Amino acid sequence: MAPRSSIAARAGYICVFLFTILTLAATIEAQQNKEANYLIGVGSYDITGPAADVNLMGYANPEQNAAGIHFRLRARSFIVADPAETNNRVLFVNLDACMGAQSVTLHTLARLKSRYGGLYTEKNVIISGTHTHSGPGGYLQYVLYIITSLGFVRQSFNALVDGIEQSVIQAHENLRPGSILVNEGELLGANINRSPSAYLNNPADERAKYTYDVDKTMVLAKFVDEEWGEVGAFNWFAVHGTSMNRTNKLISGDNKGAAARFMEDWYLQRSVEYSILADTKKLDFASDGHREAFHRVQSEQVSHEFYKSSGGKQSTKLSSIMHRVRSPMKDSLKPPFVAAFCQSNVGDTTPNIQGAFCVDTGLSCDFNHSTCNGQNELCIGRGPAYPDDHFASTKIIADRQFKRAVDLFDSAKEQLIGKIQYKQTYVDFSNVVVKLPNKQVIKTCPAAIGFSFAAGTTDGPGAFNFEQGDNQGNLFWKVVGSFLKKPSDEQIECQKPKPILIDTGEMYAPYAWAPSILPISILKIGQLVILGVPAEFTTMSGRRLRDAVKSTLIQQSNGEIGNDVRVVIAGLANGYSQYVATFEEYEVQRYEGASTLFGPHTLSAYIQEFTKLATALVKGNDVSPGPAPPDMVDKQLEFLPGVLMDSTPNGKNFGDVKEDVPANASYTVGDKVEVEFYTGCPRNDLLTEGTYGLVELLDSSGKWIPSYDDDDWSTRFSWYRPKTMSPESYAVITWAIPQTVQAGTYRIRHFGSYKHLFGSVKHFTGTSSSFKVVT
Ligand SMILES: *[C@@H]1O[C@H](CO)[C@@H](O)[C@H](O)[C@H]1NC(C)=O
Ligand SMILES: *[C@@H]1O[C@H](CO)[C@@H](O)[C@H](O)[C@H]1NC(C)=O
Ligand SMILES: *[C@@H]1O[C@H](CO)[C@@H](O)[C@H](O)[C@H]1NC(C)=O
């Protein structure tokens, strides 16, 4: 980029700046005079699990083990309470995780119970996953979901439970008078259907009601504190977290996690601009306009906190100091803005919007089977940036969601008004008696998985290959594989036309392979109704469920609930039971049908049970709690070896630079700076709310100011061992210099920890030579 020094350029810059400020002032003015009718609170906390050795959850690829961080994972929460009856409240948590899990929900609720008594229970809490396929696995309690992670991984589990608890504490403590605005709109170009041949098996007259074969609607709730103004935004949009593919080893929130990071950064920048307007002393055009001011405001606080907590000593515990790179402004009590991009009826959607192609021929795959010459491994979906890499595709899908969310946020006008209500029950889906609309009475079946499951999807083909109890599998598989069971005749009949690959619902050793008792729940805040479903509903399944709940609410409420009620599905919520396809899609037995656990009428069972719940909600009737789900966390088998010890080669210390920047190096926007350090295993300390990598800027007084950390899009922290069992390991911190960079002198730091054979964990930092960035 050429230096922007000409007077004309500067004048243009100032004009844009003033325009932004005026627009901002107008927007903020317009949005702060809604009457506060609820108590609202938002919170957010780091849930990044182990960044080494642990299998990433989603593709079930045994080779896809964590080896660093692209950006961090977070739990984002909102609480809404009735000011007249403050115990009447609902809590929604959005996790940058592949899915919510029964184990995590049960243990989080137990924590909340010991902290807050009966305020947050299974009745009024939804914990929903974004479905990123790049988060550490091993936190689910059922056997099938922890095979590739070598069983349970307690560190992954704890990172989730601890982080959710912290994010709820923040939301709870921020609870203050405010209002919620709701808005919705179409978002094109961010999802397509990956199983269109199954969708086409739905009745023609039903399909004719819709323009698209996936939902394109984004619904957004905007939270406005009476005094602080905007504090958060949560939206729901259905698209798989598979922009990063099955070869990625860096922890990542995928497209939704990235969209959330972009929107939170956008809001921070905007509020800094607004505060500059309010405080004319900071309006210092001579020093390069508002963007630099943004950095200044950001950094003053950071450096203060940083030096205070580290005390300049090498071995200080470094967790929890670095997140301040994006703290709210100094002197403000207002908590950081929380933006959450939540998952919905995600089942048959994909962000790989160019479609699926054969890697050998470049031709489209077989339409009905997603194969190339009969082989599923060769058929792979392409993201929007293809042939550019999956980071670029992730960014595009994230940007599209982020920008649409900003539009909906800025133009939201409709205020949520009305009662806060909720209903929840547990259902044993292995045995639900369902009365179909044609009066036929049928039953659901114990869980089972069909053959197409082994083939995977075009987002990650050929996932599982453990049909035969082979001796190729990992240790956990060797232990559990011998428990594979032949399905009973009754089960074969019940699941038809699904050919059964694994009869998970009839396998209980060493503990249950699949869930059968699952929670379903409804949270209602005025016109907004959120359905918590413990599965991935396909597009048409979601539409049928929403329609059934909406019409029940309207019919049963005697006119109290009108057509303006908005029903959204929160997917992968509170528990996980794979997919829910329609009866017609099930007949086709693609991946989604093969993964619909409880037989062809699974969706009908959900609709029946949700209709009862919705009726009870409007009538104010009690619902039976249903059977209690099992908590098997204490029985779990864990085969992932711990970190034995770390070491460095002779003459090297932890934190020493292995590959430095060249002497007197100078870089510009778009360049990549890379520095490598001797390090220890990241599993020694997750550095929660901290960072493994930091880019620092030298300010005019000679202080180093933290500017980018491992939660920034522009940085990557990669970690590797020279050999599989080696106690030595290396950290590579990469910084791709972004457009918005401020020119100056920089350096790169690494924070890590190591373990002696019988010793405790010790912390260290390492620092590169300084280098110049010119713009
Ligand atoms: C896909 O399957 C349907 C139903 O069996 C069939 O009518 C159609 O011709 C098939 N399409 C292709 C492209 O093979
Ligand atoms: C995954 O993405 C990487 C980087 O974009 C690409 O090189 C690789 O071919 C992709 N692999 C699969 C299986 O999609
Ligand atoms: C780096 O810059 C310094 C000061 O300008 C100079 O003395 C030194 O020779 C330079 N080193 C290299 C390797 O260019």
Residues 175-185 have pLDDT tens digits of 999 999 999 99
| String of DSSP letters for 168-206 | HHHHHHT-EEEEEEEEEEE--SS-EES-HHHHTTS-HHH
How far is Cα 135 from Cα 254, in angstroms, rounded to an integer? 9
Mean pLDDT value of segment 498-507: 93
Element (H, E) at 663: none
Q: 180: which 2 tokens?
A: 């919620």
* Residue corresponding to tokens 């939170």: 264
CA 84 to ligand 3 centroid distance, Å: 70
Residue-level pLDDT at 311: 33
pLDDT tens digits, residue range 596-624?
999 999 999 999 999 999 999 999 999 99
**Residue 323 annotated in ligand binding:** no
364 lines ligand 1 (CB under 6 A): no
- DSSP secondary structure code for residue 480 in this structure: H
Nearest CA-CA partner of 593 in 440, 457, 491, 437: 457
How far is Cα 158 from Cα 395, in angstroms, rounded to an integer? 29
The burial class, CB within 10 Å (0-12 / 13-18 / 19+), for 674 is: middle
Q: Which of 664, 769, 772 to mutate to test the pocket of ligand 3 (most atoms within 8 A of CB)?
A: 664
pLDDT of 3 over the 50 cut: no
How far is Cα 769 from Cα 518, in angstroms, rounded to an integer? 55
How far is Cα 415 from Cα 612, in angstroms, rounded to an integer? 28
User: Which ligand 2 atom sits nearest the alpha carbon of residue 461?
Assistant: 13
Q: At what angle do helices 289-310 and 254-278 cross, to 10 degrees?
A: 110
CA 749 to ligand 3 centroid distance, Å: 22
User: How confident is residue 24, by pLDDT bands cut at 50, 70 and 90?
Assistant: low
Residue-level pLDDT at 5: 39
pLDDT of 298 over the 60 cut: no
Task: Among the bound ligands, name the one nearest to the CA of residue 769.
Answer: 3
Q: At what angle do helices 254-278 and 7-31 cross, to 10 degrees?
A: 100
Chain Cα centroid distance, residue 644: 31
371 lines ligand 1 (CB under 6 A): no
Cβ-based neighbours of 40, under 8 Å, separated by 6 or more: 78, 79, 80, 81, 175, 176, 177, 178, 179, 180, 223, 224, 225, 231
How far is Cα 424 from Cα 127, in angstroms, rounded to an integer? 13
Q: 423: which 2 tokens?
A: 């209903």
Element (H, E) at 471: none
CA 19 to ligand 2 centroid distance, Å: 42
CA 125 to ligand 1 centroid distance, Å: 44
**Residue 131 annotated in ligand binding:** yes
Task: Among the bound ligands, name the one nearest to the CA of residue 771.
Answer: 3
pLDDT of 322 over the 50 cut: no
Q: Which of 390, 394, 458 to mutate to test the pocket of ligand 2 (most atoms within 8 A of CB)?
A: 390
Lining residues, ligand 3, CB within 6 Å: 663-664
pLDDT of 188 over the 70 cut: yes
3-state secondary structure of 10: helix
Per DSSP bridges, beta strands 414-415 and 379-382 are unpaired
How far is Cα 273 from Cα 279, in angstroms, rounded to an integer? 10
Task: Among the bound ligands, name the one nearest to the CA of residue 63.
Answer: 2
275 lines ligand 1 (CB under 6 A): no
Chain Cα centroid distance, residue 380: 23
Domain residue spans of the chain: 1-33, 34-298+336-426+516-619, 447-515, 657-774
Residue-level pLDDT at 330: 55
pLDDT of 6 over the 50 cut: no
How far is Cα 292 from Cα 710, in angstroms, rounded to an integer? 21
Q: Are 718 and 732 in contact (CB under 8 A)?
A: yes
CA 696 to ligand 3 centroid distance, Å: 21
N-term to C-term CA, the chain? 5
Q: 201: which 2 tokens?
A: 């098996």
User: Which ligand 3 atom sits nearest the alpha carbon of residue 663?
Assistant: 13
Average pLDDT of every residue of the chain = 89
Residue-level pLDDT at 559: 87
How far is Cα 533 from Cα 128, in angstroms, rounded to an integer? 9
Residue-level pLDDT at 472: 52
Residue-level pLDDT at 20: 54
**Residue 579 annotated in ligand binding:** yes
User: How confident is residue 328, by pLDDT bands cut at 50, 70 and 90?
Assistant: low
pLDDT of 217 over the 70 cut: yes
Alpha helices in 311-451 (DSSP H): 390-410
User: How confident is residue 133, by pLDDT bands cut at 50, 70 and 90?
Assistant: very high
Alpha helices in 74-117 (DSSP H): 102-116
| String of DSSP letters for 581-614 | --HHHHHHT-HHHHTBTT-TTHHHHHHHHHHHHH
Task: Among the bound ligands, name the one nearest to the CA of residue 663.
Answer: 3
**Residue 305 annotated in ligand binding:** no
Q: Note the CATH number of domain 657-774.
A: 2.60.40.2300
3-state secondary structure of 749: strand
Greater confidence, 247 or 2? 247
Nearest CA-CA partner of 137 in 118, 114, 160: 160
- Torsion angle of C-alpha atoms 488, 491, 492, 498, degrees rounded to 10: -140
pLDDT tens digits, residue range 390-409?
999 999 999 999 999 999 99
- pTM, full prediction: 0.91
